[in-house]
Structure 1
Amino acid sequence: MDNNSPIDVRIIVEGASDVESVSRAMQDVALGAEYNITISSIIPTTSLEVAERAVKGADVVLIATDVDAPGRELAEKYQEALKDQVGHLERMKFPYGHDVEYIDPVLIKAEIKNAIIRAGLSSISYIKYFRELETELDASTDKLREISMENSDLRSENHQKQEKLDEIVQINQQLQEELETLQDDSSRIKNEYVQLKSRCSRLQEKNLLEVFSIKKLWNEAFNQILKEEDQIIFATNQFKPDNIVVGQGWISARSRDEAIEWLKVIKTALIFIDPTVNSEEIQQEIRENLQEEDNKLEKRFKNIFD
């Protein structure tokens, strides 16, 4: 709004005759030159709806009614209806029981000026209040700007945290999937372990035999190359010892020692049926075998009695 523009004053009167009286009184009034005021319209009406439309945008509205009871009542209705529609409302009183044909224009002129002056003085009392409101508004604006900046920072921080949260949720989901996979693998391994343990238990109960190469075991036991493997197989099949199986170049026994002991028995038997072997060598080997068996028996008895 331009501060140099004149103040727009509008006057509401009760009837057309009051318009004439106010117009006649205003002929000798220079409000524009003295106060930068212009009376833009004189509105004859008793309708609140018409008055609301007519005074819209006015700076000051003067409500000119009689001083009698009906005039006061009408003025109060206007003030209640128009208080939020214009800049300022001011009551302007006509003399009680006046005659519009003989009313003194000077009285109306004075009443108009006094009403405008009262309006101005009333407005002055609001200046301090407006300034306080302006100061509060500036403070509120600064506070709002500060809150807006904080809110922007919080939004940015919240966005970063949301991204971090989404990342954590995704990692957690991946870990959950991996955990489920590991749990499945663990369950599978446990089942396999139980099955393997059961099989091992059954195998242990069966007391299975170990398998050795006859040639290697013969060479290790006697430091000789085995030439008559068929005789070992034949002798074993004839005697049928417990837990000893020979065939296809292999010997099966519960342990390596038992396999060697059986080979020694076979070797001793073969010596007796081999005429090319020197008797002294036979006797020496028999003595060694018997001594070895005696030592083993002695150890067994010692373990039993100990």
Structure 2
Amino acid sequence: MVDVRIILTNLDYLEFLSKAVSNFDLSNFNVNISSIIPTKDIEIAKNTVIGADLVLIAAQNNAENHKLYQDFKKSLKNEFNYIEYLKLPSLDELNGYEYGDYDENIIEDEIANSIIRGGLYSISNLSSINISKRQYHELKKDFEDESLKYDKITKENELLVKESKAIREKNEKLSEEVKILQRQLDQIKSDFSDLKSRFEGIHSKNSLEVYSLNDLWYDLFGEYLSQDVYKFILISTDNFRPKNLMIGQGAICAESKEDALDWLKII
């Protein structure tokens, strides 16, 4: 239902306007005149027309009232309503007029004309409204598409962050392993340098003979070499480092078998 409200700027017209409205039925057109507000105060009018679809400013048709209409329109117009001028006839025209005496009801006709003008104005704005609706739906679709793209990019970014973190942790772990291997390599280099020095010292003297450590041990003690004893021999030999004698890989290197046996006896 289209809600129509009338702002009446002159109380002298109240009786005429009330009779015209009471006899004016537009319910078949889904239009209803819900109230007449007698006031010239724009602030009062603002509060009383809230929610109206069409506001008619009822005033006599002259320059002064036309300016008053423009002031009302400027203050009351918003994107949800329409403001129209309901042009009242002069009081002289209505003097001695009894409602219903005339075939033509002047005020009813002007109310109808004002409502029709408001309807035509709304129709003329349908095109721009439809354009705005299309633009709104296009913008909404663009927004939804961009939102989907944003969500996709956000998920991909989160995945990349996780992968980056995993790679960083793996690199840190590999870095630690490299440090450990480097220390081990440094130790091997040191041991190799020491071993090389020992071999060079031995090589500069007489050549060494290689004997089976297990066989010599059996010759001395009548039993074969156990793993624990073998480790003990290796450690002891490494600590004391006897001259011209080496042990490794299950063998003992010495200038003679007697030197090898003597060392095993000492251990």
Q: Fold conserved (TM > 0.5)? A: yes
Structure 2 residue runs of 5 or longer lacking an equivalent are 100-104, 212-243, 245-253, 261-267
Task: Tell me how far apart the structure 1 counterparts of residues 96 and 72 of structure 2 sit (CA, whole Å).
Answer: 24
> CA, structure 1 residues 175+94, in 2 after alignment: closer, same or farther (shift >3 Å)?
same
Task: Tell me how far apart the structure 2 counterparts of residues 134 and 167 of structure 1 sit (CA, whole Å).
Answer: 45
CA contact (8 A) 1:211 1:250 kept: no
Asked if 1:76 corresponds to 2:85, the answer is no
Task: Tell me how far apart the structure 2 counterparts of residues 75 and 55 of structure 1 sit (CA, whole Å).
Answer: 15
Structure 1 residue 179 displacement after superposition = 2.1
Asked if 1:14 corresponds to 2:5, the answer is no
Greater RCO (CA < 8 Å, at least 6 residues apart): 2
Task: Tell me how far apart the structure 2 counterparts of residues 125 and 92 of structure 1 sit (CA, whole Å).
Answer: 20
Matched ranges for 1:211-290 at <5 A:
211-212=208-209, 249-250=258-259
Task: Tell me how far apart the structure 2 counterparts of residues 21 and 50 of structure 1 sit (CA, whole Å).
Answer: 22
> CA, structure 1 residues 156+103, in 2 after alignment: closer, same or farther (shift >3 Å)?
farther
> CA, structure 1 residues 81+158, in 2 after alignment: closer, same or farther (shift >3 Å)?
same
Q: Which residue number corresponds to residue 228 of structure 2?
A: none
Report the AA paired with residue 178 of structure 2.
L
Of 54, 57, 68, which aligns to 1:60?
54
Of 159, 165, 169, which aligns to 2:155?
159
Q: Which residue number corresponds to residue 19 of structure 2?
A: 24
Q: Which residue number corresponds to residue 165 of structure 2?
A: 169
Q: Which residue number corresponds to residue 231 of structure 2?
A: none
Structure 1 residue runs of 5 or longer lacking an equivalent are 215-242, 252-306
Task: Tell me how far apart the structure 2 counterparts of residues 192 and 246 of structure 1 sit (CA, whole Å).
Answer: 27
Please tell me the root mean square deviation across aligned C-alpha atoms, in Å. 3.9
Question: Which structure has the bigger radius of gyration?
Answer: 1
Please list the CA deviations of residues 157-212 of structure 1 after superposition, one character each: whole Å capped at 9, or x if unmatched.
Answer: 65256335413431332233212321342145225514642663476368455554
Structure 1 residue 42 displacement after superposition = 0.3
Structure 1 residue 54 displacement after superposition = 1.1
SS in 1 for 2:125: helix
Please list the CA deviations of residues 15-44 of structure 1 after superposition, one character each: whole Å capped at 9, or x if unmatched.
Answer: 4333223113435x4332674432110001
What is the number of equivalent residue pairs in this alignment?
212
Q: Which residue number corresponds to residue 95 of structure 2?
A: 102
CA contact (8 A) 1:59 1:87 kept: yes
CA contact (8 A) 2:8 2:38 kept: yes
Of 24, 41, 45, which aligns to 1:47?
41
Task: Tell me how far apart the structure 1 counterparts of residues 79 and 255 of structure 2 sit (CA, whole Å).
Answer: 124
Asked if 1:200 corresponds to 2:193, the answer is no
CA contact (8 A) 2:10 2:59 kept: no
Report the AA paired with residue 8 of structure 2.
V
